[in-house]
Structures are given as C-alpha cells and as structure tokens.
Chains A and B, each alone.
Chain A
C-alpha cells in the first residue's frame, strides 16, 4: 500500500513537473509574450542614441526644455544629461562633425543650467509655407476643412519666401530658393574676440600636463561650443568647449607634451596665443615635473 502510494505520488509529481516544463517551454520559447507597444526605455542602445539625436534636434528648433527633458526621461537613463554629453563625445570621437553634435551638447548644457540659452524669440523667422494642396489624411471632412483653412490663412499672412508645388507633387517647381531659416549660433561673432585674461600654472603631481581652457563672455558667463585650435610643430588639434559640463559650460582641455611648444587660436574672433608650453613644477622632494596651465579667455 505504501509502495503503491509512493508510486502514485511520484507519478503525480513527475507529471506535474513535466507539465510545468512543457508550459514554460511553450510560454518562454515557442510562443513568448510579444511586445507591440514598447516604450523608448526598451530600445536598443543604438536606437536610443538616434532618439536622443532627434530629441536634441527638436529642442534646437523649439527650445522647449521641459518637453525635451520629459522626452529624455522616457529613455530611462539614470542621468540624461551625462548620457547626452557622453554620446556627444562618443560621436565626436567617431568622426562626426561638430555641427551634427552641437544640438546634443547644447541640450546637455541647457539641461544643466536649467533654462534655454537660445530662446525661440531670438530667431522669430517663421517657417516658409507651402502653397500646395493639403493631403487628405484626416478622418472627417470637417477636420480636413479646418486644417486646410488654417494652412491657407498662414499662407496668406506669412510674408516670407513661399515655395510653390505643382499639383503632381513629385517634382517640385520652386519659384524662389528655399533657404533654410537662420539659426542662432552660440559662438560669438568676429567683432568680439576672446582675449587671454588669465594664465595660471596648475601643479598636480601624477597628472598628465594639460591646458585647461575656460571661455567666458563679457559678463563672465561660460560659453559652450567655442572652437579652440591648438597647433604645434607636428600637428594640429581642434576641439570645443562645453563637452564636460560637469567642469563648466565653457571648459575644454588638451593634453600637452612636456617638450612641445604650442600655439593657440580661438576660432571665433581669431585670438592667437603663441609659444605655450607645459610649466615646470617642483614636488616637495625637489623633483621637477611638467605641470598644467589654466587659461581663461574672455570677451571684452
């Protein structure tokens, strides 16, 4: 009796486990839950990068910082600002142009400072309107009519260049050149050159010698996105301020060789500073080592 009971119980448990295994195999392997309504936090890393680029490009157009922040939060990054900066540096390292990377850097900077540094009102030029039939994509005739009227009203009140398309829109015939709208550039104009206002030796034993740039406007606010060109006998390097927002929006640095003489040029304004080399520091034991330079440039 006991043997029979044990046998039946064993069979029961075995059957249960086999059933469990079959159920899991089916639900995890053969027919797993399929997602059709994913959220951005689930995106693959490269698509998240693309998402950030589009968020930054959108922000460059709208300067809506709250919305950009909300959109970045959808990606589930622990520190969206740091992630933006890291992506910007990654893209620069991969050879992307600064123009491509600039919106990311700008958004990271604005997130850090908490306000839009380039309000939309600075460039109020409206978008050129298209004098073309409105596509019938709305579900009700009333809505279509409303949209058509709205666009038509815009077209009649907008004084800017207008692009005309023929009814068959495959080959647009432009009456005027469709010029991109002017965009605000955070780099200062040529009329306001940066001047070297401070040069300090920084002695940090064990640290590689570097130039530590800080670029400020006339009100001593640090400026991101200013190109710095460093040249020496064997070569040249170009980089921009603002890619290490944790050290300041106008900060950039450059590793120096101890025995090399460098020339510095600030691209905007053309300031030229020749004959810069690593200073000599002395540690408490009297040993000498190359130090760093803190260079502060400011607009008058």
Chain B
C-alpha cells in the first residue's frame, strides 16, 4: 500500500471521528430525562428555594423546609439558602421575596436536627 493511500485512510479515519463527535455532541447528544434536582439551572434552583421559603412562611416547619432543601444537593440548607439569597439580590427579586428568603435563611442557620438540641 502506497503512502498516499495510507494518508487517505488516516484522513478518512479522522473525518469519521470528527463526524462521530459532531453527531454525538451536537446533532443527537445524549438526552437526560431522569435527572436529580442538584443539576437544575440556577434560576430554577432559586425559585425552588423561594417556594420552600414561601411554604415555610406559612407552616414554620423547620424540619420540612430542611427536607425539601436537601433534594438540591449535599450542601447545608443554610448554604443553599444563602446562594439563593445572593442570586435574588442580584436579579431584581422583590423586597418581599428577599425578605422571606432571609427569614428562611435565619431559620436554617438556627436549625438543629431533632435529638441534637443540647450542645
């Protein structure tokens, strides 16, 4: 086999790889359908935290709020709420929304799991 043919074969191989990557990454990428909430886009995450804060405003149930925030990842509930509050402050959330997020943050900062109330 001549060197010209070898070059052609290598070019074809590279072209095939490029086509494969383009198809697999751009044209028909892997679609995720059953994702966990921890990879939600930030605005959705913040809206979720805001919902938890609105519900907390109604029931004042720390345990439930903590459980609901826990689905967003392994960070502490206070850290999750802090991130949401930062986002809200930078993205024109209303004063009321920021206030209830602040109230949730206060609750999460003071939250102690049941059975561990004595330091």
Contacts and interface: CB of A to CB of B under 8 A. Distances in A.
Interface in B68-119: 68, 71, 82, 85-86, 89-90, 95, 98-100, 102-103, 105-106, 109-110, 112, 117, 119
Nearest to A28: B24
Interface stretch (A45-53, A84-92, A262-270, A287-295): A45-53
Given A21-B16, A24-B24, A169 B109 contact: yes
Contacts of A53: 68
Given A139-B89, A170-B110, A61 B58 contact: yes
Given A19-B14, A32-B29, A57 B110 contact: no
Contacts, number: 201
A208 interface: no
A54 interface: yes
Interface residues of B, number: 64
Chain A at the B interface: mostly helix, strand, loop or mixed?
helix
Given A17-B16, A23-B23, A38 B40 contact: yes
A164 B10 CA distance: 74
Contact of B33 (A8, A26, A42, A74): A42
17 contacts: A16-B12, A20-B23, A22-B17, A22-B20, A23-B19, A23-B24, A32-B29, A45-B34, A53-B68, A57-B52, A58-B51, A58-B54, A61-B55, A130-B103, A130-B106, A138-B85, A180-B60
